[in-house]
Amino acid sequence: MRQGTTSLRTNDQVEVIAGKDKGRVGKILKIDRKKNRAVVERINMIKKHQKPVDATQPGQIIEREAPIHISNLMLVCPECAKTVRIGKKILEDGTKVRVCKSCGATIENQKK
């Protein structure tokens, strides 16, 4: 399996374009670049059955997000509020930024 590059970053707002959660929007929590997968907030929820650790704690069913392939995600532009493709542009000061292909606005890396 080939390790690809992606323009998606942690804390980006994305929309699911394929799969059971198609059309839903969420924030990227974590990206695994080796497997080309991302964990998105409240998307691709699974139920994990957990055994009891000891006699005092009962077993339980935990609901959590599972990773989804990044090809099924598309960035939502903060300016035009649409799902867009991403371009890259080098500014005059030499910094590389992501650019919305639809409206041309720069997409800053949002800090935590």
Tokens of 1: 């399996």
Per-residue pLDDT reduced to its tens digit, 45-71:
999 999 999 989 999 999 999 999 999
Residue 72, phi then psi, degrees to nearest 5:
-95, 10
Closest CA to 6 of 94, 91, 71: 71
User: Which architecture characterizes domain 13-107 according to CATH?
Assistant: Roll (2.30)
pTM given for the model:
0.87
Closest CA to 97 of 26, 27, 9, 13: 9
Contact 74, 52 (CB under 8 A): no
Label residue 109 by pLDDT band (50, 70, 90). low
Average pLDDT over residues 2-20: 90
Strand-pair partners of 38: 31, 68
